[in-house]
Chain A
Amino acid sequence: MTQHVAKPQDYWPQGTVYGALLNFQQEWQIKVPQMPEAPYKGAPKAPMLFIKTANTFTPSGGRIALPSLVAEVDIGANLAWIFGQDAQPVACVLVNDVSIPHESYYRPPVKFKCVDGFLGVGATARGLEQVSTDAVVLTVKLNGQLVQRLNYADTVRKSQALLADISEFMTFQEGDVLLLGSDCLPNGKRPRAKAGDVVEISADGFETLVNSFAGGAV
């Protein structure tokens, strides 16, 4: 298997990294039958968010360790906005929001998403003027094989609508990051990685984000 060596990381998150849940139409539609039922008792109204804490940041080329007793993790390919002054996005970057697979979205996913190393971060950010956010297409490769394509034209809230709805209750600070959403596969699950796998997330004009996965984190 190809050995990926970490290159110098030009970009590193400076602020709080937020992410949006259920922002692709496909996953939303798959969840629709569950929405009226307990525990949800209704479709989400405001954007549903989570935070990837600083202990999760892993550079592109870096290895992500699975906790012991966890055989596989979800791959969450995301385009992310990086905020400048005035609470407006100024750049974007590719990230891999790694999670321990979980079915329920009832409680905050801290123990599934805030595990050490669980956010692969692209090595370089691109100025937003070069990117048409709602038209970006991401491809996800697992050990060189294409496993997923995401098109940000297929989101529930387009990027500016998402920003507007979040800004109703909180203000992004300079350096903060917002993951614009990851999608599931048609079967409702996300692509998964296990120890020994290499995951590549790419998009036109972006440097590919590469992370390998290893077992036996202590």
Chain B
Amino acid sequence: MKHARIAWAGAIHEAVESDGELLLTRSPWAGKRLKFDEVVWLPPLAPVAQARTILALGLNYADHAKELAFKAPEEPLVFVKGEASLIGHKAITRRPQGVTHMHYECELAVVMGRTAKHVKKENALDYVGGYTVANDYAIRDYLENWYRPNFRVKNRDTCTPIGPWLVDAKDIHDAYGNPMNLSLQTTVNGKVTQSGHTRDMIFDVPTLIEYFSNFMTLQPGDLILTGTPDGVVNCEVGDVIVTSIEGVGDLTNTLGQ
């Protein structure tokens, strides 16, 4: 099932996808059907009791590592993001005035479903609650070699669109075997600029869950953004960027100022 979290009629609602429409699932609107363009899309994540841990990978696709002139990392290159950087589907991300290189990054986002500590690769996927699409924007003008990628590049307000759907892990595993079998694509104003495949990750999803859960306990709702493949290009104000992952969803974002 594909789950969404939306704002409509003055309140926030849980919904699921049903025959190309949104079906509200809870009282007082349980059973109500809405068109996709009737609502405001929020990140498809239920609130959590403590700060949500958002781990994000850099250089996790062999081709992207090559493109950026770095040697492929020997262990995951990971940074952490604050939840306040997340925004929903069909939202606007601010492009600061005067920057020269701001690019999208289409990423498979893993949403943890169970508390994970010292999990082994072999059963790591049992701990995944679902998958969604993240666009982990970066502004290369602000890159510095201190805790790189630094927060001014990667923890900016509005710069992490996520959604539209949280797709149950079981659906992806049943349909594709595992999350390492999905094609990714980004379009800018309708033109394909990035194509890739999750099988090309350097550290696959089970490996990442094993690696992180070896030193940090992950909670339900925590996120792992798994990195982006080759094909990131500069985008300008007004550009419409659609980051898509097979079976998971098409996440639309527009750059504004």
Contacts and interface: CB of A to CB of B under 8 A. Distances in A.
A48 B83 CA distance: 18
A44 B215 contact: no
A57 B217 CA distance: 11
A218 interface: yes
Interface residues on A, range: 35 or more
A108 B80 contact: yes
Interface stretch (A14-22, A88-96, A144-152, A204-212): A14-22
Contact of A48 (B118, B144, B157, B218): B144
B55 to A, nearest CB: 7
B51 A15 contact: yes
A169 B102 CA distance: 14
A46 B215 contact: no
Contact of A16 (B78, B83, B118): B83
A39 interface: yes
Given A46-B142, A55-B217, A111-B215, A16 B147 contact: no
Given A116-B215, A170-B84, A110 B55 contact: yes
Contacts of A114: 53, 80, 215-216
Contacts of B85: 170
A129 B250 CA distance: 48
**A interface, by DSSP: helix, strand, loop or mixed?**
loop
Contacts of A56: 216
A47 B157 CA distance: 16
Interface string B215-229: 111110000000000
A45 B52 CA distance: 28
Interface string A33-52: 00000011110111111110
A53 B80 contact: yes
B194 to A, nearest CB: 24
B51 A17 contact: yes
Which of B78, B82, B117, B218 counts the most A-chain CB atoms under 10 A from its CB? B82
A108 B147 contact: yes
B140 interface: no
Contacts of B97: none
B150 interface: yes
Given A48-B146, A55-B217, A116-B215, A18 B82 contact: yes
11 contacts: A21-B146, A46-B152, A49-B155, A53-B51, A107-B148, A108-B78, A108-B79, A108-B80, A110-B79, A116-B217, A169-B142
Interface of A: 13-18, 21-22, 39-42, 44-51, 53-57, 67, 105-111, 114-116, 166, 168-173, 176, 218
Given A53-B53, A115-B215, A116-B117, 17 more contacts: A16-B83, A18-B82, A21-B147, A42-B145, A46-B150, A46-B151, A48-B144, A53-B216, A55-B219, A107-B77, A110-B78, A114-B215, A115-B216, A169-B142, A170-B82, A170-B156, A173-B82
Closest 3 CB pairs of A and B: A54-B50, A51-B80, A108-B79
